[in-house]
Amino acid sequence: MISDMKPEDIVGDFKEVTLDLYQSISRKILYTDIEIPYPDGKLIVSTTTPDGIITHVNQSFIEMSGFTEEELIGAPHSILRHPDMPPAAFQDLWDTVGRGEKWQGFVKNLRKDGGYYWVKATVIPNVRNGKLVAYTSVRRKPSRTKVEECIKLYPTLF
C-alpha cells in the first residue's frame, strides 16, 4: 500500500506535487530541501517482488527512509520516488532489469519526513532455476562529483 504524504510527518518547509507512479498509482508528495548525508560504510539493501513490491529491507534502509519496517513491507518501491527524479531513469531501470541485466545509477530518494538522500544504486534480477523471482537493490554512498553531475543532468530529462 502507498498513501499520500501527510503534513504532520514533514520536517521543515515543504512543497507539494502529485506524482503518477508505476501501475497507475497517484501520490501526493510533500518534499523539503533538507538533505540527509549517506552514512559512511553502510549499505542499504532491499528486495522486491518482480512487480516492485518490497519484501525485505535492512536496518540501514529503515533508518535512511524514515519509515518503519511495517510501513515498508508490502509497499511499492516507488514509496521512495522523489519528484526531482526523471521518469526516464526509472524506465531505463525497468527496461534493463527486464532484460535480465544489472542496472546501476545515481538516485535521489525521498524520505518519509520530506527530506532526501542521494545513493548509488545497483539493482539485479534474482533468477532461481531459470525463473525471475525477485529484484535485489543495494545502495551505497555516492561520490559527490557524480551527484553534482546528476543535479545538473536530471532536470534536463523531463
Partner 1 sequence: MSSMFTVSPDFTPDHLSGWYIFNTWIQRQTDTAIHLEMYNDFHSQREAIQNDKIDLIYANPFDAAMLVREKGFQPLVKAVGESDEAIIAVSAENTVEDVAHLNEGIKVAYTEDPDVHLMGMIMLEPGDFDANNITPVLSDTYVLVAKHLLKGEADVGIFLAEAYDDLSSMIKKQLRELVRSQISVIHHSLMIGPKLIDKKEEFQKVLTEMHNDEKGQGVLKSLNFNAWEKVEDDEMEFMIDLMDTLNT
DSSP code string of the chain: ------GGG--SS-EEEEEEEGGGEEEEEEE-SPBPPPPTT--EEEEE-TTSBEEEE-HHHHHHH---HHHHTTSBGGGGB-TTS-HHHHHHHHHHHHTT--EEEEEEEEPTTS-EEEEEEEEEEEEETTEEEEEEEEEEPPPHHHHHHHHHHGGGG-
Q: Looking at 143, 151, 153, 157, which residue binds partner 1 (CB under 8 A)?
A: 143
85-104 residues in contact with partner 1 (CB under 8 A) are 102, 104
- With respect to partner 1, which residue has the nearer C-beta, 50 or 87? 50
Q: Which one among 23, 68, 91, 126 touches partner 1, defined by CB under 8 A?
A: 126
Among 109, 123, 150, 154, binds partner 1 (CB under 8 A): 123
Footprint of partner 1 (CB under 8 A): 38, 40-43, 45, 47, 58-60, 102, 104, 120, 122-124, 126, 128, 136-138, 140-146
